[in-house]
Amino acid sequence: MPSRSHTIVIIGGGFCGTVLAVNLLQSQTGIPTRIVLIERRAELGRGVAYASRTFPFLLNVPAGRMSASSRDPSQLVEFARFRLPDVDANTYLPRQLYGEYLQHMLSEAVRAAPRHVQLERVQDEATEIQTIERTGPVIVRAAECRWLADQVVLACGSPPPVGGAYARDIAAHPAYVRNPHEGECIRASDNVVLLIGTGLTMVDVAVAAVAKNPSVRLLALSRHGLLPTAQTDLRPLALSTGLDLHSHFDRSTLRQVFAGVRSLAQTVEGRGGDWREVFIRMRDVAPSLWRNLSEVERRRFMRHARVYWDVHRHRMPPAVAEQVASLRRTGQLQVRAGCIQQLRADDHRLKALWRPRGRSDTRELSIDRVVDCSGDDRRLAHTTDILLRHLLDTGLASPNAEGLGLRTGPHGALVNSDGQSEARLFYLGPMLRAEHWEATAVGELRAHAENLAAALSKAEVIPSGVLRRGYRPHDRFFQATS
């Protein structure tokens, strides 16, 4: 049977899709490869995190730890020095510049790729995926086109937030912002703003709100009322020399893991390090720890410890932390532990009913705007994302039990509703958290992208005879390649 070029369709051109494409362009397999990168936004490389915004948000991690290539840790610093000569590994760069870095990486990879490896960029929204037989190609449908692929990678990020039950009655109210990552969520005329959630997204919205209206008053509310901690200077020696992480975490109950964390923190402090940095090293063992926990233990972790993990693992740049501390000192930003009971319309404003943690009485607050910073919805049951909805409804993908994202197997292969992992469909992105626990930051995602690119480069090309048996000859891809 004659073979054709290896076609890999990547859906989503944010960090993950872009870095995967770069790695595929750089792979040295000698097999003719066509990479189709479908992104609905006008620009590649930016995604949600590195999109252009009016407020100059900073990366949460210093430049020395943000290279998109694990083989070249100083790549970002070197790129940034062309624009900002004083940059070093400890600089917190603008997020917008990081998006430009990813775009630059991609165009360099396209320029340097061998002739038999080609990238096709498509601005469109993928809406459906269909597999043909058990080993045949995959059809990807978008609004304008369709493609036949040997492998498809969903690099579509996290599903959009759906908003809590508290917002049911006011979901369409102009003063309620369900997705803080889209557009400008605060107006200069907003004087009292309620922020639901107290993580890094809330911090972004709070500092941008103050820039827009210096006298705005902010109330941030979450179940525990805990803010992310500030980044501290990394002292790598205290973390690296002779520390055998596996001896600290060789057992699998939650209690034993906590004991391991405490013991590791003491060791690091004893060597002159900062105990918070333990979380940086723990990311190496987090996937195996997570997999070893029973379902009951995982749920226990989510209930009691997840919030503490998150505030220490995902931290603020020091300058932002100082600004937040100053806003809190003056009372302009108040952070409370509690939960929203209800939001209701009050003409063009909103009224929030909330209950402080540990109390039975409720408080009422009149506000100009509510911004829901409680995070993406990875439980997926009610997702409004068209492609994910389709994959779940057809059983090609399945949600994980803890509500952390999609079930995946080796290299992110999607696990279908029968529990089988599908060798033609992969997911790459933050929902890998379901399988690996830590899969949100650049450090983890670039490694997943590199491993997946290596696996895809070795994957077999589906012979074109399979196409002929079941597929329509007028299909756009069939005509182009057969």
**Interface ranges with ligand FAD (CB under 6 A):** 11-17, 38-41, 47-49, 59-61, 125-126, 155-157, 387, 429-430, 440-442, 445
Q: 427: which DSSP letter?
A: E
Q: How far is the CB of 354 from ligand FAD (least distance, A)?
A: 25
Residue 458 CA neighbour count, 13 Å, CB half:
6
Question: For the chain, what is the radius of gyration of the CA atoms?
Answer: 23
Give the strand pairing for 138-142 and 151-154: unpaired
Q: Closest CB to ligand FAD among 14 and 137?
A: 14
Q: How far is the CB of 47 from ligand FAD (least distance, A)?
A: 2
Q: Give the 3-state DSSP-derived string for 252-271, with helices as H, strands as E and coil as C.
A: CCHHHHHHHHHHHHHHHHHC
Cα separation, 131 vs 134, in Å, equals 8
Q: How far is the CB of 350 from ligand FAD (least distance, A)?
A: 24
Closest CA to 447 of 69, 24, 63, 66: 69
Q: How far is the CB of 109 from ligand FAD (least distance, A)?
A: 16
Q: Is residue 406 classed as helix, strand or coil in its secondary structure?
A: strand
Q: How far is the CB of 40 from ligand FAD (least distance, A)?
A: 4
Cα separation, 359 vs 4, in Å, equals 66
The residue length of the chain stands at 482
Largest CA distance in the chain: 74
Q: Closest CB to ligand FAD among 34 and 313?
A: 313
Q: Closest CB to ligand FAD among 187 and 314?
A: 314
Please, where are the H alpha helices in 159-233? 200-212
The C-alpha angle with vertex 157 and arms to 151 and 163, in degrees rounded to 5, equals 140
Q: Closest CB to ligand FAD among 17 and 136?
A: 17
Cα separation, 129 vs 156, in Å, equals 13
Q: How far is the CB of 89 from ligand FAD (least distance, A)?
A: 14
23-57 as b/e, with b when 16 or more CB fall inside 10 Å? bbbbbebebbbbbbbbbeeebbbbbbbbbeeeeeb
Q: Closest CB to ligand FAD among 197 and 429?
A: 429
Q: Closest CB to ligand FAD among 40 and 212?
A: 40
Q: How far is the CB of 140 from ligand FAD (least distance, A)?
A: 9
Q: How far is the CB of 325 from ligand FAD (least distance, A)?
A: 20
Q: Closest CB to ligand FAD among 412 and 430?
A: 430
Cα separation, 246 vs 191, in Å, equals 51
Q: Closest CB to ligand FAD among 140 and 327?
A: 140
User: CB neighbours (10 Å) of residue 418?
Assistant: 8
Q: Closest CB to ligand FAD among 17 and 197?
A: 17
Q: By the 8 A CB rule, do 98 and 59 touch?
A: yes
244 CB-near residues (< 8 Å, 6+ apart): none
Q: How far is the CB of 66 from ligand FAD (least distance, A)?
A: 6
Q: How far is the CB of 346 from ligand FAD (least distance, A)?
A: 30
Q: Closest CB to ligand FAD among 442 and 453?
A: 442
